[in-house]
Amino acid sequence: MTIKDTPEEWGIRATETPFVGGKTSVRTDEVVMPGGESAHRDYQVHPGSVAVLALDEEGRVLLIKQYRHPVRHKLWEIPAGLLDVPGENPLHAAQRELYEEAHVKAEDWRVLTDVYTSPGGSDEAVRVFLARGLSEADGQRFASEDEEADMEHARVPVEDLVRGVLAGELHNTCLVVGVLSLVAAQNGDGLEALRPAEAPWPARPFEA
């Protein structure tokens, strides 16, 4: 048996969208279950996101700390953001987020991993990139607002982050998945074996 996620779509008898927000919405589908009965499933409809694990030459990861109101925490995270335009190239979005949130650019980009953040309640898909060859971005810093105006920055060794994840001290999905995927890649086939930055992404198709 091959352990691999496979696309599949069960029948939908009815659908409605009871809430539409600025970036996301909530949809209710009446889904046909095995055996013919149906059940209602509520979920968040999300445009998708990108995240960037930026690794410097000293083996440190670039982090930001940001207030997240739904969980009432300031979380250490890696730079991340929404795919603002349907079909947007995720690499371009990741480069934009790294610039806006950290005023940093990178020479080498790879796909680290692709995840569904909460597939039982949201269709959000996230592509996590590995960025290396870091340097300060050109031009003026991006003007931050709202939660980002209170953002903190740090560069932390990978081994310290692994300890923090396993100790239950770091909770952000992209940070946890990104750091553990990085270590797995380093201990496996190596970072050069990671997928290229513009590898296909069926969850959010794009034009190269």
Hey, what domains does the chain have and what are their CATH numbers?
A: 12-45 (no CATH), 49-196 (3.90.79.10)
Which residue among 37, 148, 152, 207 is the active-site one?
148
Under a CB-based contact definition with an 8 Å cutoff, are residues 103 and 79 in contact? no
Verify whether residue 148 is a known catalytic residue: yes
Of 56, 28, 53, 21, nearest to 43 (Cα)? 28
Q: What string of pLDDT tens digits covers the 208 residues of the chain?
A: 899 999 999 999 999 999 999 999 999 999 999 999 999 999 999 999 999 999 999 999 999 999 999 999 999 999 999 998 888 999 999 999 999 999 999 999 999 999 999 999 999 999 999 999 999 998 777 666 566 667 899 999 999 999 999 999 999 999 999 999 999 999 999 999 999 999 999 999 998 7
Q: Report pLDDT for 91.
A: 98
Q: Token digits for 191? A: 């970072």
